[in-house]
Structure 1
């Protein structure tokens, strides 16, 4: 498995496996604790796995967590997605940088996203399954959503948006999303 640091987002990595293909299809290791450890990450912190299935044009995001944030490993296990990471860590040298990736079931590449970065994606194929491995239990009270079409971020989504959740559709722009909530 090859590991590549993402130049635009400090602390983000791409884990590129080597699928073994033959007439039956392919086999590929998608997670290796030793490889994760080799870049200074603790593989044991990932405690929850989830999967989403999206239809072509569906958009999910931009999402992040308040408080301690949430580090995650993201992989498209079937189909293809246009994946986006926005660094919102104010102390990061890559603060406000945006990085785009095409993740696909053919390559099984996994993207490591550090805590404090927003994440979203759009399905590029009729069906796209996306797997997430996160480093702490999900708490909906910490969910932060940012408008997918915020002009300050200017993400070049490749397809017209066909479906999105109401939460994503009504999300505020970056400046308003990051304002402390009134109690």
Structure 2
């Protein structure tokens, strides 16, 4: 498994599997405890796996957790997504840094998102499935959302956004969130 440090977000990594391809298709390791351990991530810290399915054009995000945050491993298991991470850790050397990555079922690459970073994506295909491995049990009282079209973030969504959740439509701007971070 190839590990690529994401320069725009301190502590973020892209894990690129090396699939075995033959006439039947492919076989690919999508999680490797030793690979994540090599970059200082405790593979045993992940407590929840989740899956979302989105129609083409759907934007989910920008989401993060208050308190001690939430680290995630994110992979597009079917289709393609335009994935966005924004560093909202005020003490980070990459504070307000962004990374835009296409994740797809073709590469099966996994993006590690450190706690304190906002995450969102837009489905580029009909449908797109995104698998999450999360290091904390979900507590709705800690959910934080930033409006997807925040002018300060100026995220270049590739398609016209559609079918937004009520939570995402009503989310405040980054400026309205205390100190610019949760």
TM-score range, shorter chain: over 0.9
Cα displacement (A) at 1:179 = 6.0
- Report whether the alignment pairs 1:26 with 2:26: yes
1:125-160 CA-to-partner distances (Å, cap 9, x unmatched) read 011000000001010000000010000000000000
Partner of 1:139: 139
SS at match of 1:103: strand
Cα displacement (A) at 1:177 = 3.0
Structure 2 CA distance for aligned equivalents of residues 121 and 168 of structure 1: 12
Aligned residues: 180
Unaligned stretches of 5+ residues in structure 1: none
SS at match of 2:44: helix
Indicate if the aligned counterparts of 1:144 and 1:177 stay in contact, CA closer than 8 A: no
- Report whether the alignment pairs 1:74 with 2:74: yes
| TM-score normalised according to structure 2 size | 0.97
Indicate if the aligned counterparts of 1:45 and 1:135 stay in contact, CA closer than 8 A: yes
Unaligned stretches of 5+ residues in structure 2: none
Partner of 2:13: 13
SS at match of 1:40: coil
Partner of 1:61: 61
Partner of 2:172: 172
- Report whether the alignment pairs 1:96 with 2:96: yes
Runs of 4+ in 1 over 2 A off after TM superposition: 177-180
| TM-score normalised according to structure 1 size | 0.96
Partner of 2:108: 108
Partner of 1:163: 163
Structure 2 CA distance for aligned equivalents of residues 162 and 19 of structure 1: 33
SS at match of 2:168: helix
Cα displacement (A) at 1:48 = 0.3
